[in-house]
Amino acid sequence: MRNKMRKILGIGFSALVSIFVIFSFNTNKASAALTDSTDLAVLKSAPTGIPVDSYMSNAKPTVSFGYPYGTNSAQIVDNTGQNSDSGNIISLANNKNTYGSMWSTAKSFDINKKQTISAWLYFGSGEGSDDVNSEGIAFVLQNDSKNTSALGAGLESMGVYGYDSSSYTAIGGTVPSPSDIQKTAIQNSIALEFDTEKNSFYLPSKPISNKYGYFSGFLSTLTSYSLNGYDTQVSPPPSDYIGFPTENETKVTYGSLGGQYGHIAVTYPGFATSYKDLDFTDNPTLTNDYSPWKKGYVLVHNNSNSASLTDGTDQNGNVLYWHHVTIKWTPAPNGSNLATLTYDYNDKNLDYSDNNIPSGWDKKLSVSNTVDTSKLNTTDGKVRWGFTAANGPSDSVSTKLVAFDSTPDTLYADADANIIDTTLNNKKITSASTDKTVGNGDSLKLNYDLTYKTGSVNWKDILANIKIPNGVTITPDSYNNIGTITFNDGYSQTISTGDITNDNITSQLDEELSPTNDTAKITINAKAVNATTKDIDVKQAPATFNGSNEISSTNSPEFTILARPTYSLNLTNSNSTNEIDLLYKQTNATLNLPTTLNYSDNHSFGNDSANTNIVYKITAGNKTYTVAANASGDSFNQTFDLKDLINDDTDFWTLFTPKVFPSGMLNKSFSSYLGVFNCTPHAFIKIIILLNFE
């Protein structure tokens, strides 16, 4: 059901006679299912998302009589497009000229604490004219007295900014003052806008009415229009920066710096200085295009950056509908009102693998912004958070959608991953490691660390879904267990081969994570496999941990499985018998291994002597000692100190017979004779050389 929009109908008889105006309006919030085929395709491919009904509210806006933006089209839907209290997707604007907001029910965003929000956004197809993709979505912090009823104007105002209500009368056009515009915006607010349309006076955007569409010059007088120019770039930039953080002086602009497919910027919607008037009379083109109006308003943007907000294709040619964003808040230092708001846009692919593509439609954009918390006008540091959006007048305009992974008012959990090569002396590989090589056949531990960071509720119903990296084989034990999950409270559960489906491991965690039981370590046992003659570069593999109130994700680090060598490594010893003499408990005993390692086929250890590339595994009887070493060049010699090697392991000496007590009888005297002999036993040292081949 199409939303009823408030009408402003007027009949102008003359500039000198009375005017009779009839108003009708509807302030009910919309609740229509999404049925458009494109919407349904987008919803079908939507990320899981967490239910939001229990902590977010969709309230009808509180407006004054005659104000044209009196509906709220925001609603909660499921993956079929139906309205659902248990749905996991917010539809903010789903028809032409619609607009909406969804807020945290309580003032739960504490600006004096670190906060994180993780969400997926859908803007539109990117096809056709700009108005098909208009207008955009905004993440907003607000302390408006209207609470969950707070809502700005539609169209270019995206449900957050003030309305540049411009009237057309028989004697000319009238525009509001900055104060008038500011009063219709969401008050005491900071916005991070994701603007999909370039609303510029220099582009064919023209004045526009939420009811009648673009201005033609033939519509009834007294109809209210937006001049639709908030993104107009004006030079020079603001010189006084009144009310804006001085740290952003070089980043504050009149209008946006975004390109054809959108921009992201920080703004202050309820601040009058955010609205700057632009005189049309000095520009013949603007004078002609916007007659009878002689000026319009542009919006001050902070740190505006071009971004590909609408659909595109990723590096593999797949259609991009959903864009992930992680927004982080760092509180202002003591004595300051300047906090930091950072965002990572397109930081994850739809399968939750990390996206580090530097160019193209799906490139990652990471930006840090200094923001002025005094604009929130809060005494206790608590504000509401939420999203607003608006659509343009095109019949084909795209629905604006949001799905959450995590919210700032419930909990925030983190996930991280690493790989341990137990064959190579427990070598640890992380995303930041410089040496990410393992050998064919090496035993690996795939580790995933979950950490409960902050929150007011436990992380519940956690389902681990781990994609097995390419190039590894899972290695079960004799009980068909492939791994373990160990919690901070000491409890441990096993993961079995029955939890493997195709290339994924799925396991339900037995316990919740909480402030007192705040970590869980998942370890999967595996083996690196490379039967080829070339190194194999293994890409990151995503792992998601889906709870009923939080979704966290990470990726196994990229690593390389070295090729099976066609060359050989030869070990020679100056002692041809490979025997080492050990004198029992000799105080200065050393295990001298006069070994020489040489490659065949002119291969070498390389020139890097800083990193471990040899592991000596020395076995004597049932004792095994491991020592790592660094080798470079064509050959390598190593001497080990026995005391350091055995690390005061007194049982080491039980491997040998240190003293021999032979006894005998002298034939002629029948008197006994006992002889005691000190012996130097021979210990046969087996040396196994394990290498990272350079």
The winner for highest mean pLDDT among 170-179, 463-472, 585-594 is 463-472
Give dist(CA 371, CA 266) in Å, integer: 8
What was the pLDDT predicted at 589?
Answer: 53
Neighbours of 163 (CB within 10 A): 23
Q: For a pLDDT cut of 70, what percent of the chain falls above it?
A: 74
- Asked if 88 and 50 count as a contact pair (C-beta separation under 8 A), the reply is yes
Averaged over 108-129, what is the pLDDT? Answer: 87
Instruction: Please give the pLDDT value at position 399.
Output: 92
How does strand 437-438 pair with strand 559-561? parallel
Beta-ladder partners of 52: none
Residue 218 in this model has a pLDDT that exceeds 70: no
From the number of C-beta atoms within 10 Å of its C-beta (0-12, 13-18, 19+), residue 219 rates as middle
380 phi/psi in degrees, rounded to 5: -110, 0
130 or 146: which leads in pLDDT: 146
Return the SS3 of 324: strand
Residues 598-645: tens digit of each pLDDT: 666 666 666 666 665 677 676 666 667 777 777 777 777 766 665 566
Which residues, in sequence order, are CB contacts of 648 under 8 Å at separation 6+? none
pLDDT at 652 (0 to 100): 62
Span 367-373, average pLDDT: 95
Cα distance between residue 619 and residue 375, in whole Å: 70
Exposed e or buried b per residue across 297-315, where buried means at least 16 C-beta atoms within 10 angstroms of its C-beta: bbbbbbbbbebbbbbbebe
Alpha carbon separation from 210 to 96, 133, 213, 365, 446 (Å, rounded): 9, 16, 6, 33, 56
DSSP state at residue 237? P
- Where does residue 61 rank: exposed (0-12), middle (13-18), buried (19+ CB within 10 A)? buried
Check residue 238 and give its pLDDT: 76
pLDDT value of residue 313: 72
pLDDT for position 169:
75
Instruction: Say what the pLDDT of residue 692 is.
Output: 41
The pLDDT assigned to 410 comes to 85
If we measure between CA atoms, which residue out of 363, 333, 343, 421 comes closest to residue 112?
333
Which of 35-39, 120-124, 319-323 is the least confident region? 35-39
Phi and psi angles of residue 132, each rounded to the nearest 5 degrees, phi first: -70, -30
State pLDDT tens for residues 380-419: 999 999 999 999 888 888 899 999 999 997 899 999 999 9
Helix ranges, 124-281 (H): 130-133, 178-183
The pLDDT of residue 5 is 31
Q: Determine contact, residues 211/67, Cβ cutoff 8 Å.
A: no
The domains located in the chain, with CATH, are 7-406 (2.60.120.200), 413-561 (2.60.40.740), 569-691 (no CATH)
**Collapsed DSSP state (helix, strand, coil) of residue 254:** strand
Separation CA 629–CA 593 (nearest Å) = 13
Does 677 or 576 have the greater pLDDT score?
A: 576
SS3 249: helix
Q: In what order do the strands lie in the sheet containing 595-599? A: 569-573, 595-599, 635-636
pTM above 0.85? no
The arithmetic mean of pLDDT across residues 70-86, rounded, is: 90
- Mark out the alpha helices in 197-250 (DSSP H runs): none
Q: What is the 3-state secondary structure (H, E, C) of 452-521?
A: EEEECCCECCCEEEEECCCCEEECCCCCCEEEEEEECCCCEEEEEHHHEECCEEEEECCCCECCCCCEEE
pLDDT above 60: residue 517? yes
Tell me what the mean pLDDT of segment 200-217 comes to.
76
End-to-end distance of the chain based on CA atoms, in angstroms?
Answer: 67
SS3 for 340-361 is: EEEEEECCECCCCCECCCCCCC
HSE at residue 433, side-chain half, CA atoms within 13 A, is 19
pLDDT at site 565: 72
Reported confidence tier of residue 650, pLDDT bands at 50, 70, 90: low
What tokens does 89 get? 């997707």
283: pLDDT strictly greater than 80: yes
Task: Give the position of tokens 């005017």.
Answer: 19
pLDDT digits (tens, 9 = 90+) for 519-554: 999 999 999 999 998 999 999 999 999 999 999 999
Q: What is the mean pLDDT of the chain?
A: 82
Distance from C-alpha of 447 to C-alpha of 276, rounded to nearest angstrom: 54
Residue 20 class from Cβ within 10 Å (0-12 exposed, 13-18 middle, 19+ buried)?
exposed
Express each pLDDT in 7-59 by its tens digit: 333 333 333 233 323 233 333 445 566 767 778 888 988 999 999 988 898 88
C-alpha 509/C-alpha 462 separation (Å) is: 6
Least confident among 343-347, 461-465, 686-690 = 686-690
Please check the confidence at residue 178 and state whether its pLDDT lies above 60: yes
Q: Check residue 168 and give its pLDDT.
A: 80
